[in-house]
Structure 1
Amino acid sequence: MTKRDVIGRYKGSVMGILWSFLNPLFMLAVYTFVFSVVFKARWGNSATESKGDFAIILFAGMIVHGLFAEALNRAPGLILGNANYVKKVIFPLEILPIVAVGAALFHGLISLLVLTAAILVLGKPLHWTVLITPLVLLPLLIFTLGLTWFIASLGVYLRDVGQTVGIITTIMLFLSPVFFPISALPENMQPMMMANPLTFIIEQVRQVLIWGNIPDWPGLAFYLLISCLVAWLGYAWFQKTRRGFADVL
């Protein structure tokens, strides 16, 4: 179903699945131009930092946010868009959010390949720690799945959720260290940034992908524990509320 979801998204287009490569490249080019050329933003204080350095650091944050936002933005319409599964077929509805997260993961992996190629093209070293990236992303995937279960169910009963989630994910893009480092904020505001669930994962992805450092294992373990709790609560909520789906639809 994940494969069908991904292929169906590009069905009928001339370039087909090639758009999964082109979309992140176009967004990367636009954001890099705006922040590094127009606003002349720099990630650090190094005078030797190039626009390419800024681009790959920026892109790493965009990949994490994109994976999270794609699944959540689709969540409110998952059950509404598959009403036939609810009304006529005995179907495990709980796998629909898994399919959405799987499709988001596919696009995230494509973007990771693009980022890896960009690192090599720019002549930067590709560290062995890149192999740890799946372990760094695992807690975020579990956390995202839990929220997707919850929002997919809530979207059946509250149709305004679809609009609200889109606004929230956009806000989270600019309240995450995607376009600027945490150190750019005043010290009294940095704890608020760290409270964002994307901040820690974005920082750890950059550590293993770009700077070749070992991730914060205790921090990842704690994040994984919280993610499992969120996933369990999301799944329990979904199973509890699914009984009313057919009546509402």
Structure 2
Amino acid sequence: MSVQRIDAYSRASASPLGMVRSLLVNRQLLQQLVKREVIGRYRGSFLGTAWSFFNPLLMLSVYTFVFTSIMKVRWVGEGAVDKVNFAVLAFVGLAVHGFFAECLNKAPSLIISNVNFVKKVVFPLDSLVWVLLGSALFHLTISVAVLLVAQVVLAVGVPWTAVFFPLVLLPLVLQMAGVAWLLSSSGVYLRDISQVTGVLSSIMLFLSPVFYPASSLPVWVRPWMNLNPLTYIIEESRNVLVFGELPRLLPWCTSMVIGIVVIMLGYAWFQKTRKGFADVL
């Protein structure tokens, strides 16, 4: 059995073409696993998957109340913004950060929590990252749907540029796929990584322009803020979902290049390190 496992791993391609081929070949399996992951999260609860709708509303209400009523935070740089508009703008940042945090926090334990799949020679372990992304994207989609409905109900309006949101999000999806492959494989050998990612995701909530626009920061801080991968995604998401502005082409291309590089490196690292999973686990 050990010989078969080594042979199967040796045939696993670390090239971008191999990554795409694995995604296409296992697409039906991925659909079933994503569905199981989403349903399994709420199994046994009274409201079931309806919690994916109520959770973002609850978090939005809490954050809006704390920042606008208790801390008296004002949206600087975009003119006068009342509590309703603050909620809408902050919700966009919360939704994007939620996707980022879910991928980041779950990636280190992705292989460890699926030891039974490691023992199966024919199971494509790299597909677990796509399952993680699919589940996170499902919850992000629900959050965006809640946002769009709220904009209609609150008479804020939904601009036609909202159709570009998937395009704006694509670079972050690529980046998180690469990061998830890197963290999931490294987490097998270094169990402390999951502790670090939990702290990092909390820090990124406040170091990203979730509750404030990047334009409100001092000029000397902005170049450093632009190094944050969430800055462009959150700012452009607000532009297309709320302000009705088209995505900026040059920053999008730059973010896409970074995303392609990250996903290629992450996938290559995963395929090179997966040979030792069975021995460690």
Is the shorter-chain TM-score for this pair beyond 0.5, marking a shared fold?
yes
- 1:106-136: per-residue Cα shift (whole Å, max 9, x none)? 0000000001011111111211001111111
- Report how many aligned residue pairs link the two structures: 249
Pick from 209, 229, 246 the counterpart of residue 241 of structure 2.
Answer: 209
> What CA deviation, in whole Å up to 9, does each residue of 1:127-174 have, x standing for no partner?
100111111111111111010000000110000011111111111111
Using the TM superposition, name which of 205-214 and 64-73 deviates more: 64-73
Deviation at 1:184, TM superposition (A): 2.6
Pair 1:46–1:142, CA change in 2 (3 A) = closer
- Once the 2 structures are TM-superposed, how far is the Cα of residue 77 of structure 1 from its aligned partner? 1.0
The separation in 1 between residues aligned to 2:75 and 2:224, in whole angstroms, is 20
CA contact (8 A) 2:76 2:216 kept: no
Unaligned 5+ segments in structure 2 are 1-32
2:20 corresponds to which residue? none
- Does structure 1 conserve the Cα–Cα contact (< 8 Å) formed by 2:213 and 2:235? no
User: RMSD across aligned C-alpha pairs, in angstroms?
Assistant: 1.2
Is residue 221 of structure 1 aligned with residue 253 of structure 2? yes
Please, which moves more after superposition, 84-93 or 190-199?
84-93
SS in 2 for 1:92: coil
* SS at 1:200 equivalent: helix
Q: 1:188: Cα distance to partner?
A: 1.3
Query: 2:263 is matched with which residue?
Result: 231
In our comparison, the structure showing a higher alpha carbon Rg is 2
**Residue from 76, 99, 119 that aligns with 2:108:** 76
Letter of the 2:87 counterpart = A
Within 2, Cα distance between the matches of 1:121 and 1:128? 17
Corresponding residue to 2:161 among 118, 129, 137:
129
Q: TM-score, normalised by structure 2?
A: 0.86
Please list every run of at least 4 consecutive aligned residues from structure 1 whose deviation after the TM superposition is greater than 2 angstroms.
44-49
On the 8 A contact 2:77/2:213 being kept in 1, the answer is no
Q: CA separation of 1:46/1:8 partners in 2, compared to 1, >3 Å: closer, same or farther?
A: closer
| Identical-pair percentage | 53
Equivalent residue runs for 1:157-236 within 5 Å: 157-236=189-268
- SS of 2:219's equivalent in the other structure is coil
